[in-house]
Amino acid sequence: MARLCSLAVARVFAMWYDAGVRPVTTLTQEARIEMGKFIVASSQITWGRDYQGDVLAEIAEAGFEGAPSGPFGGGPAEVVAKYAEYGLKAGPGYMGVNFWDPEVTDKIYEQARMLAGFHAGIGCDVCYVADGGFRSLSPRGITRWDLAGHPTPEDSLSPDQYKYYGQVLTKTGEIFLAEGVQACFHNHVGSFIETRKEIDDLFAQTDRTKVFQGPDIGHLAWAGGDVLDYVRTYASEIKTVHVKDIYPNVVKEGVEKGWTYTQFSEAGVFAELGEGMVPVKEMIDILLAAGFDGWFISEIDRTTKATPLESAKICRAYLKSIGY
């Protein structure tokens, strides 16, 4: 029987289709466990960069068994040992870069080699890769950060840019695979790959045997995407997941008023799991029915609760309440 684990992982910012999958919504807990190892996670991003407490200790206190990692604070052995002091495991990091920009392509490959080697060294077989162009101008001369949640088709990349993006992303995937690590693409509101159409357009130009899916389900819902349709479509390619809940009333108001990403965040768009509009349980059932065997990362970018620890405990309790 495959092991059902619970791990906490956060986003690490480093410079450092199966279209035939049918939804299963009546699985018993035993059936879910039999279908695949499911690694539940909680992100350090909730604590913020300036938090003065011991984040790893609080992640462990919240009931998780792992945390994010990256090439900081030492090499792979040192990072694994540090996490072990808290009874935690080291999980996947994050690489956000402008894949569509020819001026940085060589640096992207260099960074990919470094991160691939690091992840192999800590025994983690997935790493998030994502678009990094939050402050880059769209064709209309507006940053995608300022268009968060409400871009128009005219704000997307051109066909030639998608083609180049796919080529560089595919090569990046090859670099990771050479080290036994899967590069998992991560959509993000406020970037050039935000909407479902942008995801599909990019992967029409990408070798899907070399680059896998590592979606942020909350961001997809915020961008107006049908979460369950996306998961059914890409289920066999999804190797790791970031999930946050989203308050629909905040999304509605922000879209109507044309808010920036920062304004959405300050208004409290991010909800703890079970408190917003994301169909978390149904998504998990579909993934496990498709044989998902990876990291599931609860990631509340900015909590409205009194403390990050309270947020983490709420998310862990919700996942336990639905059988995870």
CA distance 34 to 37: 8
Count of domains observed in the chain:
1
CA distance 147 to 153: 12
Strands (E), the chain: 4-6, 13-14, 38-42, 66-67, 89-90, 94-97, 126-131, 182-186, 211-213, 240-243, 245-246, 270-271, 294-298
What pTM was computed for the model? Answer: 0.88
Instruction: State which residues form the domain around 217.
Output: 4-321
Sorting pLDDT into bands at 50, 70 and 90, what band is 176?
very high
pLDDT value of residue 90: 87
Of 71, 74, 44, the closest CA to residue 59 belongs to: 44
Q: What's the gap between Cα 135 and its chain centre?
A: 20
CATH number at residue 255: 3.20.20.150
Does 98 score more than 90 pLDDT? yes
pLDDT value of residue 184: 98
- Beta pairing partners, 183: 127, 211
263-318 pLDDT per residue, tens = 999 999 999 999 999 999 999 999 999 999 899 888 999 999 999 999 999 999 99
Q: Can you spell out the DSSP letters for 265-299?
A: HHTT-EE-TTSSS--HHHHHHHHHHTT--EEEEE-
Antiparallel, parallel or unpaired: β 211-213 and 182-186: parallel
Q: Tell me what the mean pLDDT of segment 73-85 comes to.
A: 90
CA distance 285 to 289: 6
pLDDT value of residue 106: 98
CA distance 161 to 308: 39
More confident call, 110 vs 8: 110
244-256 pLDDT per residue, tens = 999 999 999 999 9
8 A C-beta contact, residue 23 and residue 104: no
